Each structure stands twice: as structure tokens, then as C-alpha cells.
Amino acid sequence: MTNTNLLVSSEWLSDHLNDPNLIIIDCRFSLADPALGNKQYQESHIPGAFYLDLNQDLSNPVQKHGGRHPLPDPNQLAQKLATIGVKYQETLIVAYDDSRFAFASRLWWLLTYMGHEKVVILDGGFSEWQKEYPVTNEISTEKLGFFKPQIKLKMVVDIETVKAKKDLPEVVLVDSRDSDRYLGKHEPIDPIAGHISGAVNYPWKQVTDENSQAKVSEQVSRWEQVKNAEDVIVYCGSGVTACVNLWSLKMAGINTGKLYAGSWSDWCSYLVDN
């Protein structure tokens, strides 16, 4: 049965825009132009929305290992969330982007990982919203909230866990990248092409259509082959778009998904060393 509690429509958001216990977070970002998302937010956004940046807020600085988007310090992110008025386990957070959930799902996953499950993604993103509803360039006023994270450590795995578990029959390793990158035909970012041995390919863009609308009716059947696995370890290039697949798994009612946060960029970093 599809879990539709992870998604809201623009119509729903418009009806609840002034709810006192709701906060909207703009997650727009471009890997090719890291400053673009904030620039877009400054120009126009959903009224009342705050902006969180993938590199500055939703990731830690890059190190030798750990991938291109290491997980942020949860206490620093919690402090940031508190300054925009989020009340831990009370506030409903609506996350949106304009990239088929790529960055909104990263925030969704991080909040869930930190124990705050009252978070949904806006179906269709900013583009769908602005077709019918107002936008603004007014920067939202910060409010006082509180956020004391309770980390769900079992939601994330590191490279050693992947090595130990990837060939076990009860574990499924999912590569979320486009098929050409999975097959090693094309690698635009990382130093080595290909995939982790034993991984199966579930491209993240299959979760939505070209208009960033979730393919709600397809989520359960999409994961038919992995629904009985004890663990579904999901990775991508750097732990960002894998979160779209983790959201999709949750949508399908599968709660065994885990993020290999460093993903292929972390895996590659050790291969380059050798």
C-alpha cells in the first residue's frame, strides 16, 4: 500500500500556507552552479519559505574520504533549523526544489535521520506551485524554535558495512545513478566509472516524471523485487539523489532502506588510493 503521507500538493499547501505549525523550506540547488539555488530563492520563492543550501547547510566540508557531500553535523543543522522556527517533532516541514526531489529529499532524509518525521515533499516543486499560486522575493523573518536531534544511526552505513554486507543474499545494494553511469559508459564527475559489484540499478529519476510529479501509483510495484530484503542499502554519486530512492522506498511501505552516505564518490576515493 502506498504511503501518501510523504507528499503534498500545491493546492494543499496553498490552503495551509498560514498554519502556525508549518514551515516551508526551499532546497533549490544546482551541482553545476552552487550559487544558483540561493540566487533563485532571493528572486522568488513560495511565501514564507526559508532557504537551506545543499553545500552550506545539508553537507559537511569535503575531506579526502567520505564523498562529495558528507552528512552535515546534526547539531549544527539542528541549530539552523531552530533559528527558522522549527519545533522538534512538532512542526510540519514542507520541502521543495525544482530538480525532481533531488535536494528536497536530502532534507527529508536528514530530518528523518535526526528523529523529526513530520516532513513532506511538495509534489511538482516550485515550477508547479508558481503556475497557479503567488511567489515573493520577501525574505522570511527568522523565528525561535527548538531542535534536539535524536539520531537514528541504523539509517546510514559506511564503506566497511557496504563491503561486509553487499554480497549477502538478504541484502540488496541499490545504485541510484542514471544507467549510463551505473554501466560505466559515462562518468562526468568521479575519477572512476562503473558501480559497486553486486549493485542493482534503480535510477532515481524514475520516481518522478519530467514535471517533478511523483509517480505515486508505481512506487509499490517498482520495489517488488527488494521488498523482502533485510536491508536495502542505497547509494548514488554523493549521497544526495539516493535520498529520492529512499523516499520512494518509504512511499512503497518499505522501511529497510539505508543510505551509504559517501556513495560512489567515497568508494572511488579508496580505489584511487590503490
* Count of CB atoms situated within 10 Å of the CB of 138: 10
Domain 4-132 adopts which CATH fold?
A: Oxidized Rhodanese; domain 1 (3.40.250)
* CATH superfamily of the 153-273 domain: Rhodanese-like domain (3.40.250.10)
Which member of 27, 236, 243, 268 is catalytic? 236
* Count of CB atoms situated within 10 Å of the CB of 63: 11
Contact 177, 184 (CB under 8 A): no
What is the pTM for the complete model shown? Answer: 0.97
Question: What pLDDT digit, counting tens, does each position of 73-115 carry?
Answer: 999 999 999 999 999 999 999 999 999 999 999 999 999 999 9
CATH topology identical between 4-132 and 153-273:
yes
Contact 120, 94 (CB under 8 A): yes
Sequence ranges of the domains in the chain:
4-132, 153-273
Look at residue 272 in the predicted model and tell me its pLDDT.
76
Q: Is residue 20 scored above 60 in pLDDT?
A: yes
Contact 114, 259 (CB under 8 A): no
Question: What pLDDT digit, counting tens, does each position of 134-153 carry?
Answer: 999 999 988 899 999 999 99
Q: Is residue 273 scored above 70 in pLDDT?
A: no
The answer to whether residue 236 is catalytic is: yes
